[in-house]
Amino acid sequence: MERTFPYKIEPLEEELMKEIEQKFLAYSCQGLVRVEGSGYVFPSTYAKYASTYYNYQFKPDDVLVMTHPRCGTTWTQEIVWTMRNGGQLDSSTELGVRSPFFEFDSLERYELKPMREWMEKHEDPIKEGFYLNLMNSVSSPRTIKTHLPFSLLNPTLLDTSKVIYVARNPKDTCVSYYHQQRLVKVSDFQGSFPEFLDYFCRDLITLGPFWQHIAEGWEKKDHPSVLFLFYEDMKEDIIRELRRINKFLGTGLTDKQLQDVAEHTKFSNMKARPTTNPTKACVEIGRFREGEQDFVRKGITGDWSNYFTPALEEKFQCWMEKWKDMSQNIPFKYNFETVA
């Protein structure tokens, strides 16, 4: 029985939208919407899919890697897919095909290549969903990427499937998201870091608000079908965290296999593989902007200190105070650097 989508979705206010369009060039074509109550912001296409996503019935052997954007999603996807496939060190198939992005139809700009050829063969590609079709074609067991929070997914999700939720400190998240939003044409951000941080702290970046997303994950952290991970803990001691994942998933890998997974998924190797760092190919087909930093960028904790001025720090702290019920209670680490 299909559930009614329980939230109202409204376009952003006209004056606010005009302001945002000056910096996020892609949104002049499609606009943005906000989900009532939670305040989540999406491109307007999300409204076409909201009920489909909310009612999607996941399979018992599905594992969702759930994150706010730029919190270690690609890294965790590759780890989980590799572990669930017997430690297979696959380097030939793009990660987005092996581990599909659940809601990307709601973010996609269908006028960009390589969507045009596919569109010509489908009467209503936006309704049908290229990425939903891709996900439904993937063989079980599926490892699925999502940036949607629990509240916008099927309420029965944790009765059927497992979720690995990854959180990252908001300062590094903001810096990483800034570079990604400049890179990807689905947003096409053309502003400076201070301008991006302003939108981030006003909770106007797509797939935010950050703290609302984290709050939903944190609330479920003790559920038996949820494994809550911190990006910083993974950087600090990856073998320890791989053992936790191994136990949670029941993958039964040996310590030697876990060492192999750690080597396969360390930052320098992920950055070097086009299957996990598709920057060059996506620039060539017009999906990424040339001259920006790679999709897989630095892989460190503490890079925020290279971007935050005292004035930006003050603005960020005001935003943290606004969300103090969450920001004061989650033990994020901010001040160490590691490169893997």
Q: Which residues are catalytic?
A: 147
Q: How far apart are CA 120 and CA 113, in angstroms?
A: 12
Q: How far apart are CA 231 and CA 333, in angstroms?
A: 9
Closest CA to 315 of 178, 212, 171: 171
Q: How far apart are CA 104 and CA 132, in angstroms?
A: 8
CA angle, 295 as apex, 236 and 71 as ends, to 5°? Answer: 40
Within 8 A by CB and 6+ apart from 26, the residues are 43, 109, 185, 186, 187, 188
How far, CA to CA in Å, does 179 sit from each of 142, 174, 265, 278, 296? Answer: 29, 9, 21, 15, 10
For 312-328, give one letter per residue: b (16+ CB within 10 A) or e.
beebbeebbeebeebbe
Is it true that the peptide bond before 170 is cis, omega within 30 degrees of 0? no
Q: How far apart are CA 121 and CA 119, in angstroms?
A: 5
Classified as helix, coil or strand, 144 is: strand
Classified as helix, coil or strand, 149 is: coil
Q: For residue 111, what are its two tokens?
A: 């006028």
Q: How far apart are CA 224 and CA 279, in angstroms?
A: 37
